[in-house]
Amino acid sequence: MFEITVSILLIFTPIALFLAWYFSNRSKEKERLLLIEKGVDLSELLPAPKKSFSFPWLKMGVLITGISIGLLIDFTIRSFGFMTGDPPVVMLLFAGLSMILAHFWGKNDTRKDE
């Protein structure tokens, strides 16, 4: 019974989502065409263009570098036999530190943009 329910949900959920998207866009298009026929200037009604999205490659690079440094230090400590605990502890410590560094670094970049 569970498999049938999941199958029905997997089939009808995408269909319902598509139909909702289709009719929503269709009604927006009809509304826009009616406004054009009335002679309304659409530039006043349309929202301002959004700022383009740019992926934070610098923050991602700082995070990956921090994780790599954490792994390097962890393997170095283990090769000398000083630590026998969980391996991801040092890696997660440096990942957290690098995320904090990337946050403050990104704050300075956004201040320059303004």
**Domains of the chain by residue range:** 2-45, 57-113
pLDDT digits (tens, 9 = 90+) for 49-95: 666 666 677 778 888 888 888 888 878 887 887 776 666 677 778 88
pLDDT digits (tens, 9 = 90+) for 11-53: 899 999 999 999 999 998 998 888 888 888 877 777 766 666 6
For the record, the structure tokens of 48 come out as 């301002």
CB 70 within 8 A of CB 92: yes
Evaluate the CA torsion angle 28, 30, 32, 34 in order and state its sign: negative
pTM above 0.75, yes or no: no
- The CA distance from 61 to 45, in Å, is 40
